[in-house]
Structure 1
Amino acid sequence: MEHLQDTVLKWTDTVMAIIATYGLQVIAAITILLVGWVSSRWISGLLARTLSKIKACDSMLVEFFASLVRYAILAFTVIAVLEKFGVATTSFVAILGAAGLAIGLALQGTLTSVAAGVMLLIFRPFRAGDSIEAGAISGTVKGLSLFVTELATADNVKVIVPNSKLWGDTLRNLSANPRRKIDFSLNIGYREDVTGALALLTDIVNADPRLEQSPAPQAIIAVLGDAGLKISISGWCAASDVGAVRADLNQTIVTRFTAAGYALAVGG
């Protein structure tokens, strides 16, 4: 029994000595950690709210800079906590550098996407809400991070694209310019009343209020084909109206041509 009491007393003395030696350091480290965590969230939120008020700064840049500031504060917080326990931060940084090099060699593709994400954020070839095409990929931009870009397709399917694919391919931004040209064609036979067909097409495109009158919409004979004439129809409208205008014109042309007795040829 006395031996057990002596053991308990020794352990108690040891624990008290540890608390006396490191207790204040532990409390200080926990305080630094809590302050750093709260500060990172508060400062990143404040930065996000401030940047959101700037018209030239879109949501992608707001999210990027807010995340960057938060993780930078957390990194300094971790280093400060380690210093409280006497860890040599210079050695720690050197170890992180060596580990980063090894990880970088193993994840070259991922780092390429990170570099591409930085370039996309700097040059901003598109913004959130823009409709883009890159190779076989197309959709509306929902968000951009350092690694990937999130798109929504026309049928509202979520697509995650590595930034390296967007940066390394030819990219078409369908929303960058406020106006776009609609240009499509149809074919009619040589036996049809070409003059009447052109007049009807001109009336159809001029009747759509979404098509601008300067330059005026037009319908012209583009190609004299083996099976018939190819008539080209073109006009300018707002970029956001291109899909709706094209679909409505197709429907109207087919309906009015059929009603007028015109036969559309298979080839031009």
Structure 2
Amino acid sequence: MLRIIPVAGLAVLSEADFEELDRRLSLMEGTGAWIQIVTTWNTLVAESVGEVVDAFYDRNLYLASLRFGYVAGIDVEDFEKICMIADESAGRTIIILRPGEISSEELEQMYDVAATYKVKVLLEPGNPSELRRVSRAIGSFAGGVIGLSMTEEDYPSTNSFAEALRSNLQITRNLNISNYEEGRPASILIPSQYNNPKLLRFLVKQRFEGFLTLFYGRGSVDDAWLIRQILSLKEQLALLEERED
């Protein structure tokens, strides 16, 4: 199994989107793809565990992570429900975006619940100053329950992204990557705004282990096109890891 697992990020932002999820996943059946659900706190807690995870089992696909923005005043019971969903997933990972305002008390509560369910909680800062604060907060927790997620789109170039990542690799378990040409989504392995082949070489050389998630936050892409990008990325990673070993 690859140390770096390619993941397709799918936006599922409403109840109607969840009703469409099985149809979308049916187009990916047989690919063995790993999927990140990009959603909102309120949308996710309104769904039952089965409504989120059953379609993945039915289609022989893997739910890698649940990703949503931080909501102030986290309800512990609702967070436990999200942990229950993650507990039934293949990746057992929750990603919380823009957690800059999260209190130490809230983080401790999340740690306790996540540790009980043996799931990971990754905090994803939205800018370099928030990254420093979040990295320090993660360092105060043991056992790997709390970790880091980072997004390439938060940086102007692959070089600046890799530089920010370099000092945080040990606690990072998910990276969201994308690519654009003249502001429009572009193939992940053709250097344009971002040089992802260079990033892959860096990650393999540094022996990064975790999810590498393709998610185009600045524009919509077709699911079938996204899966083709994932398969190409998987092939490239396999070649690079074989050479490194």
Question: Where on the TM-score scale, by shorter chain, does this alignment land: which range?
Answer: under 0.3
Q: Which has the higher helix share?
A: 1
- State which structure, 1 or 2, has the greater radius of gyration over its C-alpha atoms: 1
Q: TM-score, normalised by structure 1?
A: 0.20
TM-score (norm 2): 0.21
